[in-house]
Amino acid sequence: MPGMWWWVGAILVVGLVAAYLSWTAGRVERLRVRAESAARALDAHLLRRAAAAAVLAERRYGVELYAAARIALDAEPEEREAAENDLTRQLRAVRLDPADPDCEAVIAASRRLALARQVHTDLVRDARTARGRPLVRLLRMGRRHPWPRYFDIDDPTLALPADVPA
């Protein structure tokens, strides 16, 4: 009975396609969730750095650094990247002494922020690549959520003062 084999073949193909589609949908969703977690971690690290900078500014270095830290803490989402870059510039302009605990807190927060930024950028890229695949777009798999966004700031790593004698 050749007709039955046609049916078996068709069901097999439909099954495989369904499995591939659900795997792809799961993949898009998994990467989106991860990019969102990374964004929350990045947000937390930005707040920590700004808070550490504000503490330092209150004790020394004064108004300009304090204002930059305040603005970074209070910035609206669309102004936040510029505000954070401004804070990075202010922090680079002052000489930080790693022996001072408040300075060390800012240096450590900046280092952790740099890592969070790097990881966030990579994970957003993965999520966007998965979401941009033709099949995913055609079936509008991620439509219930906005596209994951990059957070585009300069590398916040602070150059440490050389501890090797020149």
Interacting residue ranges for other proteins, rule: CB under 8 A? 27, 31, 34, 36-38, 40-41, 44-45, 48, 108-109, 111-112, 115-116, 118-123, 125-126, 129-130, 163-166
Query: Which residue's CB is nearer to other proteins, number 11 or number 115?
Result: 115
Tell me how far, at minimum, the Cβ of 109 lies from other proteins, in Å.
Answer: 8
User: How far is CA 59 from each of CA 7, 54, 75, 94, rounded to the nearest angstrom?
Assistant: 78, 9, 23, 13
Among 104, 76, 72, 108, CA closest to 89? 72
- Please, what sign has the CA dihedral across residues 18, 21, 22, 23? positive
Tell me how far, at minimum, the Cβ of 125 lies from other proteins, in Å.
Answer: 7
Query: Which residue's CB is nearer to other proteins, number 96 or number 123?
Result: 123
Query: Which residue's CB is nearer to other proteins, number 45 or number 80?
Result: 45
Q: Which two tokens stand for residue 127?
A: 């999520």
Please answer whether residues 124 and 150 qualify as being in contact, where contact means their C-beta atoms are separated by less than 8 angstroms.
yes
Query: Which residue's CB is nearer to other proteins, number 52 or number 91?
Result: 52
Tell me how far, at minimum, the Cβ of 160 lies from other proteins, in Å.
Answer: 10
User: How far is CA 16 from each of CA 9, 19, 121, 160, rounded to the nearest angstrom?
Assistant: 11, 5, 33, 56
Tell me how far, at minimum, the Cβ of 46 lies from other proteins, in Å.
Answer: 11
Query: Which residue's CB is nearer to other proteins, number 67 or number 108?
Result: 108
Among 162, 163, 56, 63, CA closest to 109? 56
Tell me how far, at minimum, the Cβ of 108 lies from other proteins, in Å.
Answer: 5
